[in-house]
Amino acid sequence: MSFTSGRPERRTTVTDPRALRALAHPLRLALLDHLMSFGPRTASECAAVVGSTPSNCSYHLRALGKVGLVEAVDAEDGRERPWRSTNTGLAFGRTEDPEFAIGSDTVERALADRQVDDEGALVHRAIAQRDEQPVEWREASILSGYALKLTPAELRELGERVDALIRPYIGLTRVDPPEGSDVVALHLNAFRHPDAIAAARAAEQAGAAVQPDAERVRPFGTSAVARAAADVPNSSRQRRPRGRADDAGAGGDAS
């Protein structure tokens, strides 16, 4: 068991521009992620995991502390004080402050992109270390993807139901986890497929290109009346008597 916490749940959406700027540094984001995954850790313990020095980690932890994202707690042995995250759950919000825009993108977008990159790197590391894990952990691991058919309302409902299912197992808030438990990384992403619009457009164009025979375009200028007359067999058309004035006026033989 890596740690026992049982802290009260505190989920926060970060919108403070100063906090977002602090998290723009990759090492600070890695430190915060480590504390939220493994609980209180000293700068030295963090350094051994994130690949930095204790003094550098201490500096960046203090920077995170200034914006309220982490805090120092009392050391059990009276030596180096550990740090812990002030929140048990975080989401990155959007700030309207133009100072924090990055070109056409916001800091929120940059943090989301970095989070996805970090999650992908973590999955690659897990795959590379798979054979080093005990067999029970290898067999329990999940690497799955699904293509669902949902409405926006159903997607929102599904997310809320999955979140409710996961919440009792959050490491920082779970009370008395059973013997043999350890930190498990679970990433949940669900969104309208990026190819959905292009796929619908392609299907629409393909349907327009193949028209049924009844809908094929007729010669330009052919009226509905003319088309109806053209469809009547010659034998059933009414013949007009010769010698009428309108025939003569048209240049016909009036004799």
DSSP letter at 189 equals -
Q: Check if the beta carbon of residue 6 is closer than 8 Å to that of residue 177.
A: no
More confident of the two residues 210 and 234: 210
Nearest to 62 by CA among 113, 91, 12, 28: 28
Rounded to an integer, the average pLDDT of 226-243 is 45
Length of the chain: 255
Q: Look at 5-9, 14-18, 152-156, 237-241 and tell me which has the smallest mean pLDDT.
A: 237-241
State the residue for tokens 């915060």: 32
- When the pLDDT of each residue in the chain is averaged and rounded to a whole number, the result is 80
- Which pLDDT does position 99 carry in this prediction? 56
- Which pLDDT does position 5 carry in this prediction? 60
Instruction: Assign 112 a pLDDT band (cuts: 50, 70, 90).
Output: confident
- Which pLDDT does position 211 carry in this prediction? 56
- Which pLDDT does position 98 carry in this prediction? 62
Q: Look at 32-36, 118-122, 140-144, 223-227 and tell me which has the smallest mean pLDDT.
A: 223-227
- Which pLDDT does position 95 carry in this prediction? 59
Rounded to an integer, the average pLDDT of 38-57 is 95
- Which pLDDT does position 24 carry in this prediction? 83
Share of the chain above pLDDT 90, in %: 54
For residue 11, how far is the Cα from the chain centroid? 20
Instruction: Assign 17 a pLDDT band (cuts: 50, 70, 90).
Output: confident
pLDDT tens digits for range 85-98: 999 888 776 656 66
Whether 218 has a pLDDT exceeding 50, the answer reads no
Instruction: Catalogue the E-assigned strands of 45-145.
Output: 70-72, 83-85, 89-92, 101-102, 105-106
Instruction: Assign 50 a pLDDT band (cuts: 50, 70, 90).
Output: very high
Whether 235 has a pLDDT exceeding 50, the answer reads no
